Structure 1
Amino acid sequence: MNSSAYWRRCQDEIATFRFLRIEVRGALPYSDIDAAYAAAHFFVLPSMSESFGYSIVESWQHARPVLISQGTPWRGLVDKRVGCDLRLDVELWTSLLKQCLAMDNAIWGELCRASHELYAALLQESDASTQEKLRELLRRTLGGEAAS
């Protein structure tokens, strides 16, 4: 949003959506993040490139499915029922957003539950990986087997 010409183009485009409320939030203070996710149905990130995508994981932490581009390392989201990863194509994104608007609350609730479950699994995986790295460090430091 650093370019004022680009931002004006965005505002002009946003103004064409008469029946949707589109909010461009920019950077949020940390204290407002929980409320922002609680007020949202999806986290939308049509990014050209993300390395890990911490904001994507943060969305799952808040039990919100994600709509992301394939410019992230996250794939197979539909099968996991935690969102959708699409190539950057206007027709695909338009179709996806229409599906989301027509989605009933029961299906959305299932996506939210699956999103939070994936976050919990990622935490466990991370904890196990961290524990193994610590064990290996102890083995090398002590010159033998570390106790489990």
Structure 2
Amino acid sequence: MDTPEAPWHAAFPAPRKQEPGTMTRGEVLKMMRDGGSVAGKDYLLVDLRRTDHQGGTIRGSINLPAQSLYPALPTVYNMIKAAGICRVIWYCSSSRGRGTRAACWFSDYLEEKGDESIQSLILLEGLKGWAKGGPEYVNWVDGYEKTYWETQ
């Protein structure tokens, strides 16, 4: 009898914090559209998907698969800090698994560093919610595949 394979995140400690801060798709879109905040300078969108990276990604996002995040936290933090980014918005398909875990791990790391200048947030409903938000949202998805989202 085969034993089920442990989930990828079982190799890392559970985040201490369990409820990350959040942003709605409307808040993120407003921030992107208004021009007062610049991607990569004022905020960073992080797409945590690895093998399910179909359907496109929100414009300006970087791809950092959740499976590689935990050991890279010090490097990710140093890059974000050096760039002066004050808000990191994590997302996956739904932001209920990888997105929440990543935001909480990063929040824990910020707390360990005593750094209150950076927020670690999730995009509520993830990319699925973004893609289902209508034309004003999908216009901000690079590589948008309509047929992919119709089946989600």
Q: TM-score, normalised by structure 2?
A: 0.30
Looking at secondary structure, tell me which structure has more strand per residue: 2
Looking at secondary structure, tell me which structure has more helix per residue: 1
Q: TM-score, normalised by structure 1?
A: 0.31
- Greater relative contact order structure (CA < 8 Å, 6+ sep): 2
Structure index of larger Rg: 1
